[in-house]
């Protein structure tokens, strides 16, 4: 489990919105070291693929990350050494199920657009 204190309304916001919900569970397709960092590739669920954008945010096992690549059936995030050793991603292996939380702002935009149609 990864826990982080919520930001106060009086503090400067400098990250992604993460609520702690699980929208989908997908398997790890690849997880390998590249230089000092780690490339984590996860299966992209077709039903929710429209929520995943390159340079957009996604929560992976509750960890707020930036999407580096969106491929046809997968997406990639890069993990820095600190994140790997200080979260449950340190024990993650190919084939493991990963909890995904898609960007709440994308969900709100989708809902607002749909309500105008």
Residue 104 domain-assigned (yes or no)? yes
Q: Which residue has the higher pLDDT, 109 or 35?
A: 35
Q: Is residue 9 part of a domain?
A: no
Helix (H, G, I), strand (E, B) or coil at 38: strand
What size, in residues, is the chain?
117
Query: Are residues 92 and 98 in contact, defined by beta-carbon separation less than 8 angstroms?
Result: yes
CA 60 to chain centroid: 4
Asked, for residue 54, whether it belongs to a domain, the answer is yes
Identify whether 42 is part of a domain.
Answer: yes
- Phi/psi of residue 84, nearest 5 degrees: -65, -45
Report the pLDDT averaged over residues 34-46.
97
Predicted confidence band of residue 4 (pLDDT cuts 50, 70, 90): low
Q: How many domains does the chain have?
A: 1
- The mean per-residue pLDDT over the stretch 12-28 comes to 82
Q: Has residue 2 been placed in a domain?
A: no
Please check whether residue 15 lies inside any domain of the structure: no
């Amino acid at each position: 489990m990864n826990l982080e204190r919520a930001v106060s309304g009086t503090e400067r916001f400098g990250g992604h919105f993460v609520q702690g919900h699980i929208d989908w569970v997908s398997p790890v397709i690849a997880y390998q070291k590249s230089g000092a960092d780690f490339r984590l590739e996860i299966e992209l669920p077709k039903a929710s693929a429209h929520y995943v954008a390159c340079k957009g945010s996604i929560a992976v096992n509750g960890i707020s990350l930036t999407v580096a690549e969106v491929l046809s059936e997968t997406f990639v995030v890069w993990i820095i050494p600190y994140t790997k050793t200080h979260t449950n991603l340190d024990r993650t292996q190919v084939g493991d199920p990963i909890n995904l939380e898609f960007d709440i702002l994308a969900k709100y935009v989708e809902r607002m657009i749909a309500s105008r149609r």
